[in-house]
Amino acid sequence: MPIVLLIRHGENDYVKKGKLAGRLPGVHLNEKGRQQAQAVAERLKKAPIKAIYSSPLERAVETAQPLAEAMSLPVVLQPGLLETDYGEWQGQSIKKLSRQKSWKIVQSNPSLWRFPGGESIADCQHRFCTQIEELVKQHDAKDMIALVAHADPIKLAVAYFIGLPLDNFQRLGVSPGSITSLFIGETGCHLHSLNFSLEGS
């Protein structure tokens, strides 16, 4: 089964201001985010990537496009790669949300948490990882595929595939414009790299 590159979208103004963009439409990369997307494309343009998949949200597609152009490949949208459905928390300040008692559950016992009006973290992990597994089955063992998505789903995928308990997924870090690499095989998964950042390179 193939090597899977999990690429977090570049910076946008919600990330910059510490807000949860969630699934809000019209959230685009800012200037720094566009630079990060170009840096990802430059880094990976000679990699043997066979396909590029993306969350349908604008910031993810805009991150995928420079790589797609460099590789002469289409960006294939996959709804299963969407950001977590944060429900009523969408668009709110993380600083403000962190003052709520429920924030402790999100950080220390996320397996018990469902966002008000949104999805549970466990459901997000299942959705995202099921999508990855479906895509992996479409490729040969020596293929490399790129998936452009969002921080929490990427962290949840890493936790799932390496056997890290869901309640520990917040210990992982995934920066804007970073690359995480997984080899997903029939006998298990190997984490090649986590949160490889191109900042300053």
- Contact between 201 and 39 under an 8 Å Cβ cutoff? The reply is yes
Any idea which residue has 């789903």 for tokens?
Answer: 153
Residue in this structure with the two tokens 């919600």, named with its chain if needed: 14
The β-bridge relationship of strands 3-8 and 188-196 is unpaired
* 83 is a catalytic site residue: yes
Q: Are strands 188-196 and 179-185 parallel, antiparallel or unpaired?
A: antiparallel
Report how far residue 144's alpha carbon sits from residue 192's, in angstroms, rounded to the nearest whole number: 13
Strand partners, 149: 8
Catalytic residue among 28, 42, 58, 83: 83
The helices-and-strands tally (H runs, E runs) of the chain is 7, 6
CB 183 within 8 A of CB 144: no
88 has catalytic annotation: no
Q: Which of 9, 11, 62, 150 is catalytic?
A: 9
Contact 195, 178 (CB under 8 A): yes
Would you please indicate which residues are annotated as catalytic (active-site) residues?
Answer: 9, 83
